[in-house]
Structure 1
Amino acid sequence: METIAKPWVSVAEYLEQEHRSELRHEYLDGQIRTMGYASEAHELIVANLVRLLGNCFLDTDARVYASNRLLHVPATNGFYYADALVVFGKPEFLQYKQKMQATLNPGVIVEVHSDSTMEYDQREKWASYQQITSLRQYVMVWQDRQRVETYRRTTDSDEWIYTSINEPERPVRIGECTVSLTDIYAKVEL
């Protein structure tokens, strides 16, 4: 089977196309990846997390964004649509021709895994996300079972502490918020 190389696309071309597109696409150093279909479980988990985090951070300077917020990682020349972002303090943006903004300084990034995105989220995205100096935590949530994995950056270095939680009664710490798996998976049929 012959593999056909995809043409390289500039950041400006990507942003111009993305601004006009009805579909969402991610971009990594010249290559574009179309965002796929999201299941009901995926959307319920994202909605639950955005609600839980939004309520928790309501009286703080943090902002919680859902999956339509474009994220830019300059160090890897990547643009992504994470399932949820939390920005602490004043948000910073890459502005493109007054048409589009991409967040530059997330403190927390959340991705909800599906079978088709798990490897991409755990490898390419995670490798790129680690280059974000403001990032404090990367949260990966499974949609087919109650399981949350987190990587939390230590305060004095670039080391990451890994945690895996799959017991419904055990709390999950996201940023400074504590939520339960039961609340994250509310109304989700597994």
Structure 2
Amino acid sequence: MQTAERLHFSATDFLAWEETQTEKHEFVAGEVFAMTGARQDHVVVSLNIASALKQRLRGTPCRPYIADLKLKVEAAEAFFYPDVMVSCHPGDLGNQQYICNPTLIVEVLSDSTAAYDRGGKFAAYRKLASLQEYLIVDIDARRVECFRRTPDNDWLLHDYFGEVDCHLHSLNLSLPLAEIFEDIETT
């Protein structure tokens, strides 16, 4: 039986191995990383965003997905579990194991993953030709950073905080920050 201590897997071996595991794991260039549980505020904000997207995308070809479905980033030889993602690509509908063509990815920051979400993970996500927007949600600061791909393939930051709406151009919709942070106690 293979265990997480094995340092290198092929992508195919990883997918087969992970299906037998009770915990989720991310995979980057042959290495496997165990996922840890999230705090309650993280889960609430992720659910708020996924629920809002589900309501607003009803009747469109776009579907929101939560953290239990993998994202395959073939160019980075990686599989991740974003907190929320949206795919409008028909090719993603038939694959039960993972999504390959997200339009939007959302990561809710935690102390243990913030640097990676902003750095290495975002670098991998930028390799996805389909990705148009990447949201980084900072619960403590009540802030959403929206990185939007430009026509020149650059990434432009749109910073949302206060009593405003977060505009998602890729999906032609807006999410009020009050809705994103609903049920989160202020400190």
Same-fold status (TM-score > 0.5): yes
Distance 1:54 1:94, change over 3 A: closer
User: 1:159 is matched with which residue?
Assistant: 154
| Cα separation, 1, equivalents of 2:15 and 2:89 | 26
- Residue matched to 2:145: 149
SS in 1 for 2:182: coil
What SS is found at the alignment partner of 2:33?
A: strand
CA contact (8 A) 2:89 2:101 kept: no
Query: Where does structure 1 differ by over 4 angstroms across 4 or more consecutive aligned residues?
Result: none
What percent identity do the matched residue pairs reach? Answer: 29
- In structure 1, list runs of 5 or more residues that go unmatched: none
Aligned with 1:20: secondary structure? coil
TM-score by length of 2: 0.90
Checking the alignment, whether the CA contact within 8 Å between 2:89 and 2:102 is kept in structure 1 is no
Aligned to 2:35: 35
- Residue number in structure 2 paired with 1:14: 14
Letter in 1 for 2:78: G
Match status 1:115 vs 2:111: yes
- The 8 Å contact of residues 107 and 137 in structure 1, kept in 2 or not, is answered as yes
Which SS does the other structure have where 2:147 is aligned? strand
Stretches of structure 2 that go unaligned for 5 or more consecutive residues are none
Alpha-carbon RMSD across the aligned residues, in angstroms, is 1.7
- Tell me the number of residue pairs that the alignment of Structure 1 and Structure 2 aligns: 180
With over 3 angstroms needed to count, the CA separation of the structure-2 counterparts of 1:94 and 1:55, relative to structure 1, is closer
8 Å CA contact retained: 1:72, 1:94: no
Quote the residue 1:173 is aligned against: 167
CA distance in 2, matches of 1:6, 1:170: 47
Take 2:91 and 2:23, find their aligned partners in 1: how far apart are those partners? Answer: 25
TM-score (norm 1): 0.89
Q: CA deviation at 1:33?
A: 1.0
User: Aligned-pair distance for 1:144?
Assistant: 2.1
1:63 aligns with 2:57: no
